[in-house]
Structure 1
């Protein structure tokens, strides 16, 4: 890794320690990802002081909404709702893998409302999203969908059916348009902001 500037070291010392304490499920590169003072003022203060998404254990942008975070299970390098205007509704559960990025405006909706009573939700299987997945801006992922590993979902797509691994998919409804090459980032070279739990070691190597 390139030499770390004094500013970045001070930023981590002053704000990173606070971020790590209040966000037990936040696992990102220690340096070079998001400034910790930005996380403090744009994420932590709105979440904890102004009670916007207060129960979420990872950073959520103040313009985004995460519903039923207790029904979300996620890996590392993944913070659902950390971009602008995300809407994550986990009433029926959402399983996120590792290394998932979502563009601004992404909606992931695990439950529809009943047609006979709009105040009630339909029971359905949880949404499952694999490792190394990019969901483009303003895409919508609907209930019961499963997205495999190593997938890109194009911007503005409406995902109504399962998307297989190693594919690029786009459109309304979202369909596979090509096979995707392997994901090649070497995670073992990342110095994380905190110790990674042992259950993620296999993914990193």
Structure 2
């Protein structure tokens, strides 16, 4: 039995009272029905600030009111990846950011897709987009610099500054961030978990790919 199938009445009540509002407000929001975040908290800290007070209103996925997401139209995300849904995250996507499936970004982290030109601060230097693979976790207070490529199944340790590409199946930490060891395969089975809404067919390949 999946760990998400054993739920108490408080979690069920949370979904009945607030889950339908969250689903209505964020049509592309897909998460395990129970076990990720309280729908009440999403309603209070994401939905109300975004939809009523206009903080990050231009972002179609849940963003915490203390976070900032710039140029969301230049961000491509997969399922279970909602950049900015944690506390105090700064995302600048001037040159584009591509995020895979099941990517978590720790509190206080920053993704910076472009730098100001050293000789003309009104201009951003042209670089390739930041690309982050599937099943990646970026620890709290980390910084991902422009043009960085992070592979699949990667953990970035808290407080890291990622200035060079990180290969798949790695655990990397530090400033500058370096690979310290190989990471074991990701094992969580999403095809055995009940989600908050029906999963589109376009994501089914991911669920059966590992």
TM-score bracket relative to the smaller structure: over 0.9
What 5-or-longer segments of structure 1 have no aligned partner?
none
CA distance in 2, matches of 1:4, 1:182: 27
TM-score (ref. length: structure 2): 0.93
TM-superposed CA distance for 1:196, in Å, is 1.3
CA distance in 2, matches of 1:32, 1:151: 22
CA distance in 2, matches of 1:197, 1:55: 24
* Number of residue-to-residue matches in the alignment: 205
Correspondence 1:183 to 2:190: no
Alignment of 1:27-176 (within 5 A): 27-176=30-179
SS in 2 for 1:194: coil
In structure 2, the partner of 1:23 is: 26
CA distance in 2, matches of 1:65, 1:46: 12
SS in 1 for 2:50: helix
Deviations 1:26-79 (A, max 9, x none): 111111211111111111011111111101111111111000001111111111
CA distance in 2, matches of 1:195, 1:111: 36
SS in 2 for 1:108: strand
RMSD between aligned alpha carbons?
1.2
TM-score (ref. length: structure 1): 0.95
